[in-house]
A and B are shown apart, each in its own frame.
Chain A
Amino acid sequence: MPPIDRFEDRLIAILPNLHRFALSLCRKHDIAEDLVQVSVIRALEARNRFDPETRIEPWVFRILRNAWIDMTRRGATRGTEIEIGSDIDPAGADGEKVTEARLMLNAVERVLEEMPEEQREVLILFCYEEMSYAEIAEILDVPRGTVMSRLARARLGLAKKLGIK
């Protein structure tokens, strides 16, 4: 057998990415942890349907997103959201120098909060998770053109709010 990366190792490598994406969907840490665990289990169960020649992220992200949809359908959890940014220390509170990057992040997170869900989702997948248009289309199960129009609207909205010209 040629020594290719084990499926398990590829899953391990993307755990932080999965958690981030889960958090962007559900906005609660404990639910995000559940989502990641459920997704890992489902990914292992469905491993035979994964093409090892492709990137694993979009494939598992799609599983995770479907798990989230299942969870919300089953009468869960939205509605008692907490601020997604609450795991980030208030700027400067810990005595750390407030960097430009931190201010930028805070500003971006505020804009994301106000954004329509479908735009926020593509923006997070594209910019935070560095997915291609085609990969996002696969995760969301929508045409590539739809991804592009949502992403363009999201970026123009962001530019306007942040005064980017």
Chain B
Amino acid sequence: MTTEEYSDEILMAYSDGELAPDEAARIAAKAESDPDIAARISVFRRTGEVLSMAAAERNRMAPPVESHARIRAQLARSSGNGGQVVDLQARRNRPRRSAIWSGAIAASIALAIGIGGGYWLGQQPGSGSTGPVQVTQLDPAIAEKLSSLPSGETASIPGEVSMTPVASFELASGEFCREYELIGTSGSRTVSVACNEAGNWKLRFAMDAGAASGGEYVPASSLEILDAYLSSSGASAPMSEESERAALSSLGE
């Protein structure tokens, strides 16, 4: 009965549509006349159906993975640079849990200390000087977008070209913060972090990330500084779209 010709593997491949057409036709003809063969095929068909049903339910139930939001954001803006930026990102995502990245975080903090120009803390982008850390009120148009625009979407801003929230996260202190990019009319690109204090957005970090011309994106080396800043602030992994939506809607309350 169970010859090689009608092995479990062959009948399964038939029910999965994995046989060449002529062989499938041969099995179909055999199944017509042989109820035993038909029954064996049906077991494979039924297991396939049960498993697809389980798979659909499994995917429906799966919680969003927080770290994916960050990988997504980084992949979305890394433009063929061989993965450097994602590497940095992965470190930022996992400051505590994974030893894989810790050496690299230390390296990026050392780099931040070693670099003199190109970034400043707590100052309005474009103000030029590098003073002590201070809290700075944001342009109301930018603040408004920070309270409403989901990460990954871009809005135009009066006096600037565009503004794009990159990710949302919480600091160790529990403050709700967002990283965003601002493209200026001169083609400048600023990467900033602002946190919400009792309903007001305050700038915490801003960095000149190089010209925005020609689709060139932030070089990985400059993002290391942001990376170090976020690590030292105890920033959480970026929120999922869902958590971000909830955090944004609770701002209005």
Q: Give chain A's interface residues, CB within 8 Å of chain B.
A: 6-9, 11-12, 15-16, 19-20, 29-30, 33-34, 36-38, 40-41, 43-45, 47, 87-89, 99, 101-102, 104-105, 108-109, 123, 126-128, 130, 132-133, 145, 148-149, 151-153, 155-156, 158-159, 162, 164-165
Contacts and interface: CB of A to CB of B under 8 A. Distances in A.
Contact of A132 (B18, B67, B72, B87): B18
B75 to A, nearest CB: 4
9 closest Cβ contacts across the A-B interface?
A44-B83, A127-B51, A101-B57, A37-B90, A108-B54, A8-B75, A148-B9, A152-B8, A105-B57
B8 to A, nearest CB: 4
Contact of B44 (A15, A16, A155): A155
7 contacts: A6-B80, A12-B76, A33-B93, A40-B86, A101-B53, A164-B43, A165-B46
B65 A15 contact: yes
A89 B43 CA distance: 30
Interface of B: 7-9, 12-13, 16, 18, 39, 42-44, 46-48, 50-59, 61-63, 65, 67-68, 71-72, 75-76, 78-80, 82-83, 86-87, 90, 93-94, 97-98, 100
B51 A165 contact: no
Contact of B71 (A7, A9, A15): A15
Interface of A (DSSP majority class) = helix
A15 B71 CA distance: 9
Contacts of A15: 65, 68, 71-72
B78 A19 contact: no
Given A12-B71, A152-B7, 15 more contacts: A12-B72, A20-B59, A20-B62, A30-B97, A34-B94, A40-B90, A41-B86, A47-B82, A101-B56, A102-B61, A105-B61, A127-B54, A128-B55, A153-B8, A155-B12
Contacts of A47: 82-83
Contact of A105 (B9, B58, B83): B58
A80 to B, nearest CB: 14
A19 B54 contact: no
A33 B238 CA distance: 13
Contacts of B39: 165
B12 A34 contact: no
Contacts of A44: 78, 82-83, 86
Most B CB atoms within 10 A — which of A16, A43, A87, A152? A152
Contacts of B98: 30, 34
Nearest to A151: B12
Contact of A104 (B16, B57, B78): B57
B241 to A, nearest CB: 13
Contact of B43 (A29, A133, A159): A159
Contacts of A133: 13, 16, 18
Contacts of A6: 80
Contact of A156 (B42, B43, B63, B72): B43
Contact of A34 (B44, B61, B78, B100): B100
Most B CB atoms within 10 A — which of A36, A45, A108? A108
A157 to B, nearest CB: 9
A104 to B, nearest CB: 5
A36 B62 contact: no
Contacts of A108: 50-51, 54
B224 to A, nearest CB: 16
Nearest to B9: A148
Contacts of B8: 152-153, 156
B98 to A, nearest CB: 6
Given A45-B82, A133-B13, A16 B75 contact: no
A19 B62 CA distance: 10
Contacts of B58: 20, 88, 105, 109, 128
Contacts of A148: 9, 12-13
